Amino acid sequence: MVKKIDYTIVLKGVAFPLLLILVWEITARLGYLNALFLPAPSKIGHAFVQMVADGSWAVNLLASLKRLAYGFLITVCLAVPLGIVVGRARSFQHWISPTLSFLQQIPPIAWIPIFILALGIYEAPKIAVIIYAAFFPVFLNTVQGVNSVDPKLVEVGRAYMLSSLRMIQRVYIPSAGMSIFVGLRLGLSNCWRALVMAEMITRTTGIGAQIWEGRDLMQPDRIFVAVFTIGVVGLIIDIILKRMEHRFMPWKKKYPEDKR
């Protein structure tokens, strides 16, 4: 049930950035832009080819993606089951929801110094930041999804004598599926952003570290390559998740947000 791709829409979506790049290139060549912080697209392209050739691009990207995968996986394993449990225990929500709202106000980056003090500068603090960044959207959306399960469907489960575990499996999880998925999508994009910040501060490997390295070495073209890589990877992740949503939930009709 994959939607048909409307190529005219894709074309429009691609044409606009190409146009921007063209204008940028022309103004750069005419000497209107300061090459120190706005190098010409052709120069950025050249830097990209170089970075691919010397392997630094792939090494850093892979380092970032690996962290993303670990951190996100851990978050899902923590936040989804916890969300289901908390979502079913309504009275418990009164206890914890003010605390959660408080924690939610703190951006993950604010915790990075503490994580570094506690966990060092290598993998652990970065993964901790990712977990923190993704936990709230995944957890809160799961809770909300479980909360909004239609009690009439739960009653059907009761009438057909489902055990509590089966009730979770057959009624709660699929009912909350949409909401959980929204949480996963938000969580993953939060992860990606937070990871880049963490890498910029800890400066070991990864795309974020590469950006900072570009600053240290006064190589704005390399900075741009890294920045654009972040954007493109984020975009690809989002597209994949949207596709998965349609794959796993064919009973859902198209959403208004899919209209462009």
- Contact residues toward another protein (CB under 8 A) are 152-153, 155-156, 158-162, 166, 170-171, 174-175, 177, 249-251, 253
Nearer to another protein, 12 or 158 (CB): 158
Nearer to another protein, 98 or 151 (CB): 151
- Nearest approach in angstroms of CB 177 to another protein is 7
Nearer to another protein, 93 or 175 (CB): 175
Alpha carbons 30 and 233: distance in angstroms, whole number: 31
- Nearest approach in angstroms of CB 197 to another protein is 37
Tokens of 21: 């790049």
- Nearest approach in angstroms of CB 258 to another protein is 17
Nearer to another protein, 36 or 159 (CB): 159
- Nearest approach in angstroms of CB 79 to another protein is 22
